[in-house]
Amino acid sequence: MEILDVVDENGIPTGETIERDIAHAEGVRHRTSHVWIARRRQGKVEILLQKRCMTKDSHPGCYDISSAGHIPAGAGFVESALRELKEELGVDAKPEELIYCGVRKGMYRDTFYGKTFVDNQISNVYLLWENDMEPEDYIIQKSEIESICFMEFEECYKAVAEKKIPNCIALMELDMLKAKF
């Protein structure tokens, strides 16, 4: 059971906590960290996408952020980002390697497996350059991730905007990344 901090509209913990499942059932605002891994190849930027497992509670089988996760109660954005990178992809990164891209406030409602899922989150978005790694170099967390791949940034942007790939990627985050290239 994951316990999350309930946060105000600025992402500041209110002192209340809530179980993750209840937060998503009721739409209670909480925090997440998002890390996009990028590399340069032949003069172009590529970003690492993960394909979510079919057993995920939301967006099964969809392409998503390189690494993302909920922030446990009492934890911070950066420490959670680093923990998720290690758990999901086997990446050991240092805080100073994360490039802060901005904050995204999002509210999303859908139904998965016959249950309402409401994502009301405040996310810090980070960029991590990993120019030397190939997909096979990552150690993926099979319980979370079906597969990973690099995609040229502009191709990814177009695919997301035109809904050409199943995804749960916010164009706003891709815009944040592009501003840092």
- Nearest residue to 53 via CA among 114, 142, 118: 142
Condensed to tens digits (0 to 9), the pLDDT of residues 32-78 reads 999 999 999 999 999 999 999 999 989 999 999 999 999 999 999 99
pLDDT (0 to 100) of residue 57: 86
Global pTM reads 0.96
Kind of pairing between the strands at 44-52 and 145-152: antiparallel
Domains delineated in the chain: 3-178 (3.90.79.10)
